[in-house]
Structure 1
Amino acid sequence: MTERKTVRVTGRFTRYLSLGLVAVLGAGLMTAPGAAAAPASVAQGDKWDIRPVAGGYQVSLNLDAPAPMRASAPLLVVDGVPVGVAKQSRDRRSLSLVTTDSAVRNAKSVQLVWSGDLGKLEQKAAARALAGGTTDAYWNKARQGALLKDDPGKLGMYQVETSEYNLGDEAVYLPGIGQKSEVVGKVYAPVGATGKRPLVVFLHGRHEYCYGDATEAGDKPWPCPKGAKPIPSYRGYDAPAKALASHGYQVVSISSNAINAYDGDVYDLGAQARGELVLDHLALWKKWSTAGGGPFGNKFIGKLDLKNVGLMGHSRGGEGVARAAVINSDRGGEFGIRAVLPLAPVDFARSTVPGVAMSVLLPYCDGDVSDLQGQKFYDDTRNSVTGDGAARSTVTVLGANHNFFNTEWTPGQSVAPSGDDWGGEPKATCGDRTVGRLKAKEQQAVGTAYLAGFFRLHLGNEKQFLPLFDGSDTRAASAGKAVVRVVSQAPLASRRDVNALDKALPKGAVSGKVTATVCAGVKPLTASKAAATPACLLTDGWGDSPHWEPAALAGRTPSLAVTKLAWTAKTGVVRLNLPAKQRDVRKYAALSFRAAPGALGTLTTDLSVRVVDGRGKAAAVPVSSVSDALTRLPGNLQLGLPKNLLRTVRIPLSSLKGIDLRDVRTVELRTDRVASGTAFVSDLAFSSAGLGTSAPATLLPKLSASDVKVKEGDKGTKLVDMYVRLSRPSPRPVTVYAETTPSFESTAVGDVAKTLVFKPGQTKLKVSVPITGNTRDSADAKFSLVLSAPKEALLDHSFGQGLVLDDDPTPTLTVGNLTTVEKSADVKIPVKLSAPSDRYVTISGSVQDGTAVLGKDFRGQNDPPDRSIEGYFEPGKTAGELLVGIVDDKVKEPTETFTAVLKAVDGADIKLPATVTVTITDND
């Protein structure tokens, strides 16, 4: 893990996450100091370079060592300002992108920073206020709930037998990466368990895939080259796997090293491929548990219940298992995937996982996915489908980092080199010398408790574990000192929503000196121009705002809308009235909502909740008496913390003394506790803990974006139609967001971001993408139309692939002989193009002695002299640069010659090798 860095972020950051995947353009154009071969730079430094290209500027960075394998997306930062998501070369030693931001012309520095590490604010008043205080002391001794009687982290009655299968490093083809993957897994089986058993599949995330000293280089990143070994990341979850297996569950942990080797340059960063790999393993287990065969013969026949399947995915594996659940539903629900647990996940494309029980585990000290973007799985799914009966939750573990849930990613436990991903100051909030930071084994114990408890609850119907996931702060003894906070959306059958607080309140609902404003996102906004919702936070560092950070591949999809309360006196009241048919709440156990402090500089604030019945009887409860949701989370903003996370305020109805629960008329949020303050509130509901119903959402219509291939054309801008289709008409309106990722091979593709609403009966909507043509040769332009955050539907083909074919002829290169007078200077060999190009055209070759000799009469382009020469044409130019140096001496001598042999040309046509003669006439 590299040293953690923070950067100053300004308004130029507003589009970085909507850039999507960008092409590595000319990584080989970087040249040695003193070389005259590369196209002219507008800014350059040690190992970085910025140069003009058609339509913008190419920013390139070379690294001394391969960039670490991280789950987050890599960004290039120019003078402390992120300018875009970069694409890495296969060896991860160079990164490149193209930006239209002309400010980069004056660059002083270029750095690699990861998308999850952008937590630092500009030095505004809010940030200065934080310097005066911190809540670390509180969270180091935070209130803890009651201990659960049955500890899910303890081993059960069954002995556990482990075995492994390995069908080869390239045993299955994954269309999602266009490559072959290994099929390798570790099996944990309960010895003596009879009958069919629920199956849980674990999928690790993005990590180094090979280790050791290779004795020879391979021609591709996977399989590992000779002398190196695959890193066994799939073996890193022994503790939760054995905890589950010892209670009668079958567990398989699978390897995804090939995906890690190839996912850096695929359209979705590997989510589809990871989902495909999970389903490929399930298909094998369907065969092995019915017909037998394979590596296990008849051993598992009749042992697995493939209608009762759970998936855990860590890091990028979290988005992978979410995608697997949706693909499975799209394909008719062949496997009964009923429970999904994304662990420290990425969420690059804002997918939803309706119908399936889900719990997202968020490690607060995550140093890789440190923006905790997986929070959006919960936010986007919770109300995405009418009648969804599944339960879902988020589990935030303070003091936990990204890596240590996997022992193969943990120093002292792994066979390959590993590290602490936090990487910050050891005495900082998440540093390894602080009270609140969990040791590796402590963190693994927490992971074991919640992973095992979740799957035993939803696959095994073991209801004793409901209190771990209902927001009541009940804890498992094996989780030790860990401070855990759970947000829960109870299943529909156990919940009555009062108000999601995501829309403007009715007239008259607000009184006194308080305002209630619906907000979403952060300022500066990255949503579409039509977005009129005010920002929730004034911050340029989205890393501290998991609910509102733009996603890497869906940066303009609107984020969670909540209500922001701001008050200047103790007189403020927000009154929410219950309709007549919803006033009897006796069947529910609690009134709950999500809340967080609204002002970044505020350590703590408070509200009271007042419930009034039909007789006018009222009971009021201070939020601070039941929850620390309005206490700022620990840390210092300058280190990427604290996070602005909504947390649970849960008021047991039994505590509302004197209230007639058959006739509750209003719920009030009152500002009578603190004279002034701000707070975010969301999702007010009555609820009880419940399992709900969970199954593949096969009845939902499916959304797919079409692919398109079109010729660029010679002039003007034309609209190319892509279509988003619904698999069948829906009785309810279906909403989905669609946006293009720009292409940096060419400037031909325009920018589109829009909300699509399918009215009942509609099955096809058009998205028109502007394509600008010209007569210059350029690369074919690839782009995607990304679908995200659907409502009342599933995502199927959620990335429509666009290809703009360049239809202009490749220019012809001509080169002529040169006659020059002896002088100490660089001279140009005449090279011309038949027509301007949108590409950089590069030339390489060597010089050969004639009567003139290298070093004595002429020199090459590099120091010390060598025979290589290189040249180039800038985009749009027909005259190029191919330089050689002439040596001046004081000796009278006859006319001399040498030759230049052109051996390679990229971007133009010429018959090779091409030889030209340089003639030097004496001037003495």
Structure 2
Amino acid sequence: MRVMGRLIRSLSLGMVALLGVGALHANAAPPTLPPSSVAKGNNWDVKPVASGYQLTLRLAAPAPMRASLPLLAVDGVPIGVARQSPDQRTLTLITTDPAVLKARDVRLIWSGDVGKSTGRNRSQAAGPTDADWLKAKQGPLLKDDPGALGKYQVDTSEYNLGDEAVYLPGLGQRSELRGKVYTPRGAVGPRPLVLFLHGRHQYCYGDDVTPSDKPWPCPTGSKPVPSFRGYDGPAEALASNGYQVVSISANAVNAYDGDVYDSGAQARAELILDHLALWRTWSTIGGGPFGRTFVGKVNLQNIGLMGHSRGGEGVARAAVLNADRGGQDGIRAVLPLAPTDFARATVPGVAMSVLLPYCDGDVSDLQGQKFYDDTRYSVTGDAAPRSTVTVLGTNHNFFNTEWTPGQSEAPSGDDWFGEEKESPCGAKYAGRLTAKEQQAVGTAYIAGFFRLQLGHESKFLPQFDGSDGRPASAGRAVVRVVSQAPLASRRDVNSLDTVLPAGSVTGKASATVCAGVSEPSGRTAATPTCMTTNDWANAPHWGAAWYAARTPTTAVTKLSWTGTDGVLRLNLPAWQRDVRRFATLSFRAAPDPAGTPKTDLTVRVVDGRGRAAVVPVSAVSDALVRMPGRDDSGLPKNLLRTVRIPVGSLKGVDLRDVRAVELRTDRVARGSAYVSDVAFSSPGVGLSAPARLLPQLSASSVTVKEGDKGTKSMDFWVTLSRPSIRPVSVYVETNGDLGTAVGDVTRQLVFKPGQVRQKVSVPVAGNTRDSYDLPFSLVLSAPRNGLLNQSFGHGLVIDDDATPTLTIGNGQAGEKAGALRFPVKLSAPSDKIVNISGQLKDGTAVIRKDYLSEYDDGTNPPNRSVDGYVEPGKTTGDLPVRLVDDKVKEPTETFTVDIQAVDGAEIKLPLMLKATVTDDD
């Protein structure tokens, strides 16, 4: 938690570049904290602990259930990712950031909102290109509409095997096995299976819901939220066209994932595979609630998965976990819908389309974009296609009717924020889709994707190949698709993620490979960064992931120019020059938000005789038009989009002998743009199947005792399941509660052919002071030529020092002293804060007349609480009681303190202390 806290704070302030976290010293001890400096508020407090400072926020009502991660912000600045108690009312984190010592305000905010203005009453003018997007170009209508109902009637049924029917190791809890089934009536033979998984939403509702340490199953008087019933539109569209569909419930995961190391991704994947195991039985030998109804009716070698919100990360993980387990289930296609991606996983081998809602008010940074970015070149020879589908005017929730006001059974709401008529996402703005329009778009693209990939219905390929074929049921929705064609129908010219050869750029232009974001103050970064922002929401390609914060983000080329003579030239080797079999020349592009308002480039294709075809980017694409919105709301999104030039339009060029592709700056005198992934390609469905032949990467788990002195190595092993003939790489980093004892580790491991394991040593500093145990993770991310199996290694440093003994003596003071302090002594210094609490009791001295609690606010009855503590590293502490200095001559008076609890030290309780107050009048 310390690492993420430091990173999030520094990123929020613009202080972290791609790989350079170092805004605060990772292993610096917290400064000395005088007793009076411990920060407290009405519902929060800061306590020194071995790993820095523990910040705790207590809420009056349970926190809302969101896909984004909960953060604690101090005086408006995010400090770190918080752990949530099971009742969602208490949030805690450990940080070394000394800013918490001066805290005046502590609040809960959400990871998707970092850097954004989220004021509900603010007004926002339109951005400079918003009107362009209201009349944006629409693609040609498809002949057949994937959102339309087909020839089969649809039968629905449900199964419910109990609220605690299966144990999920990734959750450490039991989960329900419940689903809704959509069946094509009368369909003959085994049908492709599509499984839907909803995301993180409230799991119980009702007037009598009482927070509990056991939040699932729902307590008496409340009901489970039926999120799994919210996808009737796409389910019926698929089932009526011959597909078997199952939508499953994941309320138990939602109830417990607030305190899980990976926020529930592994548990959701396990739940999916448990349901598929049920269907393996029900479709072969029958049984369960359906008897022999589905025997021979389900093809478990042709499976697609759709996951919404955190369910998107769940289906991505399920596809990989299935491959890790030998590909028993034929998962061939995944569609993450508005997904989270907290740990930078890749999803090779299977067809993938990521649907990104432009007005997502929950996962506002559109982090699911990284599934596409990280997977596209992750495995040599990967034959599967992939795409991203960005839909303007759509929010996070309304794809699910059970998360939509006016349609849901349980309470629900619009996740977008702000004024209703603001551009481009206000609820009543012209470009915002209604809930039913949004659901129609979701149905069209979900159904179209699975019919294309599982049913090989190539008539839906234009929806996903970048040509922007438009389903009629998508209505007025503005959709932009970026695609990577299957390898068999693609020739990569240059991905533009590495430095170009000398001489590639001429004229008044420069090309810089960049990745990540930098701070507004312009601090020099170790690696060139793509843009300056303190708002991750507007940089989906380049914002850091939450559990793989130092893994490099997508690298692209930033082309900048100050004249019309600039040229970026990509020369084609002899074996690439014949491009006759390809349909398009394409690349990804986006304008630099810091550049001129209007940007354009010219694409020039040159053959061996020097003949050239010239195409302005603006003539074929709006990729260089700034997307809608203003800079203070997480908008506009800086997303790379497709420039797609038909090869047949390159008139006068010998397509058997294309020598170069050039990007020229002759259309705008000054500008800057991002470019990536230049390729020739043709549409294709590709080949997709579980990537069972790839080696699997796993991190070991290690537990050590801290020791008394020096530094020892805590040795993790990262292993491959088998040797590979190709190099395999993966990023590793420590993440979690590292304290001052555990060192930061960040590196990329490269396994040479034949190599199957590497050691990652994490330094651990020993001492003789009593400390907290330190749990943390070693996180694997962004692999190349391998799959992530055990992607989180668990580390635990066990404190092995004796708990010191506490003694507290009676106290004595004169009235004029202002406070009476009881002598507090510890037998040895500790790394823990020792907390003492008790109750004041009158003797001859009377509360408020002669003495006061530190917490007395004047209300009745008087507050009788008394607290004290010993700071980490000290052997003496403080237990104060305020004294009233009156002008009345009095005899010596006494009161007592009943010590009821001590945390962090040994002491025999109960303990009654006597306080003596002497008069000085």
What is the distance in 2 between the residues matched to 1:904 and 1:45? 21
Paired residues of 1:629 and 1:647 also in contact (CA < 8 A): yes
Match of 1:35 in 2: none
TM-score (ref. length: structure 2): 0.92
1:85 pairs with 2:81: yes
What is the distance in 1 between the residues matched to 2:596 and 2:158? 52
Q: Name the SS for the 1:284 alignment partner.
A: helix
Q: Name the SS for the 1:506 alignment partner.
A: coil
* Aligned residue type for 1:10: L
Aligned with 2:823 (options 824, 830, 850): 830
1:766 pairs with 2:763: no
Q: 1:212 Cα shift?
A: 1.0
1:683-832 matched pairs, under 5 angstroms: 683-743=677-737, 746-821=739-814, 825-832=818-825
Paired residues of 1:217 and 1:226 also in contact (CA < 8 A): no
Match of 1:908 in 2: 905
- Please give the per-residue CA displacement for 1:792-824, whole angstroms capped at 9, x wherever unaligned: 000000001000000111111112233445668
Paired residues of 1:393 and 1:486 also in contact (CA < 8 A): yes
1:552 pairs with 2:549: no
Unpaired segments of 5 or more residues in structure 2? 1-8, 23-33, 118-123
How many pairs does the alignment contain? 890
Q: 1:91 Cα shift?
A: 2.9
Match of 2:258 in 1: 264
Aligned with 2:304 (options 284, 288, 310): 310
What is the distance in 2 between the residues matched to 1:557 and 1:294? 45
* Aligned residue type for 2:734: T
Change (3 A) 1:751 1:7: closer
Match of 1:534 in 2: 528
What is the distance in 2 between the residues matched to 1:155 and 1:804? 58
- Please give the per-residue CA displacement for 1:669-689, whole angstroms capped at 9, x wherever unaligned: 111111111111111111111
Aligned with 2:562 (options 568, 571, 576): 568
Question: CA RMSD, aligned part only?
Answer: 2.6
Paired residues of 2:840 and 2:866 also in contact (CA < 8 A): yes
Match of 2:3 in 1: none
Paired residues of 2:78 and 2:114 also in contact (CA < 8 A): no
Change (3 A) 1:194 1:302: same
Greater CA drift, 899-908 or 149-158: 899-908
* Aligned residue type for 1:800: G
Q: 1:917 Cα shift?
A: 3.0
Q: Name the SS for the 2:632 alignment partner.
A: helix
- Please give the per-residue CA displacement for 1:208-228, whole angstroms capped at 9, x wherever unaligned: 111111265544111112111
Paired residues of 1:583 and 1:662 also in contact (CA < 8 A): yes
* Aligned residue type for 2:367: Q
What is the distance in 2 between the residues matched to 1:918 and 1:78? 38
What is the distance in 1 between the residues matched to 2:179 and 2:143? 34
What is the distance in 2 between the residues matched to 1:468 and 1:85? 38
Match of 1:11 in 2: 14
Q: Name the SS for the 2:451 alignment partner.
A: helix
Change (3 A) 1:254 1:55: closer
Q: Name the SS for the 1:638 alignment partner.
A: coil
Greater CA drift, 822-831 or 64-73: 822-831
1:39-438 matched pairs, under 5 angstroms: 40-41=36-37, 43-44=39-40, 47-50=43-46, 52-54=48-50, 56-120=52-116, 134-214=128-208, 218-428=212-422, 429-438=424-433
Change (3 A) 1:912 1:591: same
Change (3 A) 1:109 1:195: same
What is the distance in 2 between the residues matched to 1:595 and 1:216? 51
1:607 pairs with 2:610: no
Aligned with 2:914 (options 912, 917, 922): 917
Q: Name the SS for the 1:637 alignment partner.
A: coil
Unpaired segments of 5 or more residues in structure 1? 1-5, 20-37, 122-129
Paired residues of 2:74 and 2:103 also in contact (CA < 8 A): yes
* Aligned residue type for 1:748: A
* Aligned residue type for 1:679: A
Match of 1:843 in 2: 836
Paired residues of 1:17 and 1:553 also in contact (CA < 8 A): no
Paired residues of 1:61 and 1:110 also in contact (CA < 8 A): yes
* Aligned residue type for 2:82: A
Paired residues of 2:564 and 2:668 also in contact (CA < 8 A): yes
Change (3 A) 1:437 1:119: farther
Match of 1:467 in 2: 462
What is the distance in 2 between the residues matched to 1:811 and 1:44? 26
Q: 1:854 Cα shift?
A: 5.1
Q: 1:855 Cα shift?
A: 5.7
Change (3 A) 1:134 1:457: same
1:880 pairs with 2:877: yes
* Aligned residue type for 2:62: P
Match of 2:474 in 1: 479
Percent of residue pairs identical: 70
What is the distance in 1 between the residues matched to 2:751 and 2:655? 40
Paired residues of 1:13 and 1:81 also in contact (CA < 8 A): no
Change (3 A) 1:478 1:616: same
- Please give the per-residue CA displacement for 1:240-279, whole angstroms capped at 9, x wherever unaligned: 0010000111111111111111111111111111111111
Q: 1:921 Cα shift?
A: 5.3
What is the distance in 1 between the residues matched to 2:798 and 2:530? 42
What is the distance in 1 between the residues matched to 2:616 and 2:416? 36
Change (3 A) 1:41 1:253: farther
* Aligned residue type for 1:193: A
Q: 1:853 Cα shift?
A: 5.5
* Aligned residue type for 2:98: S
Change (3 A) 1:132 1:358: closer
What is the distance in 2 between the residues matched to 1:739 and 1:752? 5
TM-score (ref. length: structure 1): 0.92
Greater CA drift, 700-709 or 422-431: 422-431
What is the distance in 1 between the residues matched to 2:688 and 2:775? 39
Q: 1:896 Cα shift?
A: 5.3
What is the distance in 1 between the residues matched to 2:43 and 2:893? 39
Q: 1:198 Cα shift?
A: 0.7
Paired residues of 1:846 and 1:900 also in contact (CA < 8 A): yes
* Aligned residue type for 2:730: V
What is the distance in 2 between the residues matched to 1:419 and 1:600? 35
Match of 1:516 in 2: 511
Paired residues of 1:218 and 1:224 also in contact (CA < 8 A): no
